């Protein structure tokens, strides 16, 4: 009888350990998936996600699709003269400000060291240009409101694809 109780306990322990390991594996897989589509510094989507999302939007026919590229000016100078820690703060500050300009669900990404992107589905060129102006004004207002050691400086470009261009 005692042997059965030891076996039963051992089986329960193994079952509990198995459940724990499964939960840990699931959490690690979710972390890997998150990291494969997000920039570690900013938490924004990354370049890989942007390419996949643009293809998905094309397939869905969510035209026009506009993209705004936000290039961070002065980042190289900040990195070289003040170190990458300051450069990272500059990038993070710009990403945070960009996020404040958009509602949840909008696609914001860091696509290169000094470049951020905004994907706007069902947004034409005129609307994209207005949104780009809003971004520029937001950065300018932030610089005016805050006496920053490194004022945020950005250059923007917009591009729009309609259904005809997607066929090419």
Q: How many CB atoms lie within 10 A of CB 53?
A: 17
| Active site members | 114
Of the candidates 90, 81, 136, the residue with the CA atom closest to the CA atom of residue 114: 90
């Amino acid at each position: 009888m005692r042997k059965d109780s030891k076996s039963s306990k051992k089986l329960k322990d193994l079952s509990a350990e198995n459940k724990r390991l499964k939960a840990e594996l699931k959490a690690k897989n979710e972390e890997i998936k998150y990291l494969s589509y997000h920039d570690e510094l900013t938490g924004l989507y990354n370049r890989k996600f942007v390419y996949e999302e643009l293809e998905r939007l094309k397939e869905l026919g969510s035209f026009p699709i506009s993209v705004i590229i936000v290039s961070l000016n002065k980042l190289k100078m900040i990195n070289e003269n003040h170190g990458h820690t300051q450069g990272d703060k500059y990038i993070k500050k710009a990403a945070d400000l960009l996020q404040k300009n958009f509602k949840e669900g909008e696609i914001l990404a860091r696509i290169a060291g000094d470049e951020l992107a905004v994907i706007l589905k069902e947004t034409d060129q005129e609307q994209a240009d207005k949104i780009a102006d809003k971004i520029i004004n937001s950065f300018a207002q932030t610089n005016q409101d805050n006496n920053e050691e490194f004022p945020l400086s950005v250059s923007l470009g917009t591009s729009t694809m309609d259904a005809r261009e997607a066929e090419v």
